[in-house]
Every structure is written in C-alpha cells, then in structure tokens.
Amino acid sequence: MSLFDSLKQDALVRSKSYSSLASQLPDDYNSPILPGLPDDVAKLCLALVPRSNFPAMGGVCKKWRSFIQSKEFITVRKLAGVLEEWLYILTMDAEAKESHWEVLDCVGHKTRTLPAMPGPSKSGFGVVVLNGKLLVMAGYSVINGAVFASPDVYQYDSCLNSWSKLADMNIARYDFACAEVNGMVYAVGGYGMDGDSLCSVEVYNPEKNKWELIESLRRPRWGCFACGFEGKLYVMGGRSSFTIGNSKFVDVYNPERHTWCEMKKGCVMVTAHAVVGKRLFCMEWKNQRKVAIFNPVDNSWKMVQVPLTGSTSIGFRFGILDGKLLLFSLQEDPSYQTLLYDPNAAPGSEWQTSQIKPSGSCLCCVTIKA
C-alpha cells in the first residue's frame, strides 16, 4: 500500500468516526447558521432582519434562537446600525383595575402587548433593562388584606416575546431603588418582609444568574430611586430613618472600590426620573410644572419650566426616545398631548409635542434597543 492510500484510508476511518459522533449530537449542533455561508456572514444577515420578526426567527431552530438571545446579537445589530428603539409602557386601564405592558415603536405604533407576567399580581416592584431584556424584580402582593413581600425576579426577552424566571433576590423587598451599572443590576433599600425599612443592598450578575449582598447603606432608605453615571450608582429621593421628612442625601456607590459615599444635594419626593445622555431628569411631587436636571460632573441642578397643557394639575411619567425626554400623562386625559423635551435643541425650541401615546395612563416606561 502506498503512502497516499494509507493516508486516504486513515482519513476515511476518521471521517466515519466523526460522523458517528455527530449523529449522537443535536441535529443542528454542527450545522451552519445559514447553509452555504460562513457563520459571521450568516449572523450579519440575521441581524439585519426587522425587529418585529425576531419571535418568528427564534422558532426556526435552536441555533437561531441561541444567537438571538445572546449579547452578540445586539452587538452585531449595533455595529450594522440597525438597532431599533421600542418603548415598553406599563399602562393602567380606564377603570384602574388592571395593568398591562404594551410596546410602541418610534412613531407611536403599537407593535404588541406583552404576555402576562408569571406569578401573582404585584406592586412596588423594580424595573430595569439589561442586555436588551426587561427585568421585573420583587414587589409585594396583597392577599386577604395582608402584605407579602416577594424576592421573585422575572425576565422578559424582547426578541422572543416571552417571560422566564431568574434567580430570587436574597431579601424580599418593595418600594426600593434599582438600576443597571456596568452590566450589573443593583437593588437598594426599600421595605422588607415585615414592613421594616431596609439598608441592605444586593447586586445581580447575569453571567452567573446570582444575587449577592454587598456593603449596606449607612441608613435605611425607602421610596427612593437609583441611576448609573460614569460607572457609579447614585441613590436619591425617598425617605431615610435618619432624616425628618424627605431625604436630600445622595448615596453614591463605587463598584471598583466597593464603597459608599454621600452628598447632600439630592432631589426629594421624586415622582418621575430618567437619565438622558449624561444628565438626570427628575420631577418632584411638590412641583409638576418644572423638571429638575442634575449634572453629575459638578453635582449641580437646574430647573426647566414645563409648558402648560390641557390640564395644569396633570401628573407625569418619563420615557426616553432618541435622546429626548417624553412626558406621559399619569392620568387618563384624552386631550393631553405627549410633551417632548430635546436637551440638544436650540434655546427656545426644546419643547415639542409627540404623537406617541399609550392606550391608558402611564405607570412606568422603559426603552429597549434591540
């Protein structure tokens, strides 16, 4: 037998062995994402598909579904310049009996209503967007007149239009602050199982699907809110057991140093907040006609007057779209037009109106890019 024949026979044996092994694996394990194309080109092709078709794409095969659920999918779409912003709005019906999540695109067209979230109906929960997914965390339920705090965390995959259960928090809580910072989710303070105010803080690692308790606040805090700036966690508003009335303290957590520090220039009794660019926009309960804007660079605040609308007593919830601030009505008011504030517009033309409007009163709004 020649050397060529020997190599040929050896290759044939290896090929049969590989085929035998492959036959024991899932059908699409070794198959290309798109037959005839390198996987990197195939991934780009899938990434160019309009967002409304993602759920159908996820049902084609495990390989497509796995790619659509990954952070890489969002990264490829971002590099291709095809990310779409959709608004996810928790809306209350006219009778104030039931709420549901509805989804609006960039021009206000309703694209879908989310499937009902698993578990009992809750209030006082936290909402965060992480890696293109919606996290609804903790909260409380009222059963036979008694309040029960929950540690449950659910995730909505905006690409597959489905809910899943994540790891529970270490401590059941409600009316707490929460925010995403550097790909991690923080839950701060709130009320606990027995209604006691909490100073505990925990962080969620999505890679490990695990919550971990970290250094606590210096004082219990509840009814507060949180946001991320330049890799740090800012907690403000609400109340603290160390102050009379509402707290003006700003607690700042540095994840690199694992330490807290504080400032005294906070906003109190905040009913709506949103981060647009590198600035925080707040509306306080005592004054619904002005927006307070916080600049973390010099820890300064400035006030911006809100134009009069159909009602001078209307309350607002904030949304963000294309770097602009949306002011949705907290009350059912057919005559109200959604206000839009563009922080980059020329002086005097920052305020406009928008056609984007939820079907009912707005309880909460987040933006998901995918």
**Given this model, what pLDDT does residue 27 score?**
47
Distances (CA, A) of 20 to 13, 26, 167, 169: 11, 13, 38, 45
Residues 13 and 103 in one domain: no
pLDDT at residue 369, as a whole number:
93
Let me know whether 76 and 144 are in one domain: no
Are residues 263 and 148 both part of a single domain? Answer: yes
Q: Within this chain, do residues 209 and 89 fall inside the same structural domain, yes or no?
A: yes
In the chain, the number of structural domains is 2
Contacts of 249 (CB under 8 A, 6+ apart): 219, 236, 240, 243, 262, 263, 264, 266
| CB-CB contact of 57 with 67 (8 Å) | no
Domain interval for residue 173 = 85-369
Instruction: Give me the CATH number covering residue 355.
Output: 2.120.10.80
Examine the domain organization and report whether 63 and 134 are in the same domain: no
Whole-angstrom distance, CA of residue 86 vs CA of residue 367: 6
Is 195 found in the same domain as 57? Answer: no
**SS3 of residue 17 by DSSP:** helix
Please tell me the predicted confidence (pLDDT) of residue 337. 87
- 174 and 56 fall within a common domain: no
Closest CA to 171 of 141, 209, 211: 211
Does 47 share its domain with 156?
Answer: no
Residue 69 sits in the same domain as residue 189 = no
pLDDT, one tens digit per residue, over 15-26 is 333 333 233 334
- On whether both 74 and 117 belong to a single domain, the answer is no
Question: What is the model's pLDDT at position 8?
Answer: 35
Whether residues 204 and 330 share a domain: the answer is yes
Q: How many Å apart are CA 75 and CA 220, to the nearest integer? A: 39
Is the model's pTM score more than 0.75? Answer: yes
Whether residue 64 is found in the same domain as residue 210:
no
Collapsing DSSP states into helix, strand and coil, what is residue 331? coil
Question: Which tens digit of pLDDT belongs to each residue from 188-227?
Answer: 999 999 899 999 999 999 999 999 999 999 999 999 999 9
From 80, 99, 134, the end of a domain falls on 80
Residues in the chain, pLDDT under 50? 1-27
pLDDT score at 333: 74
- pLDDT value of position 267: 85
Q: Side-chain half-sphere of 163: how many Cα atoms within 13 Å?
A: 15
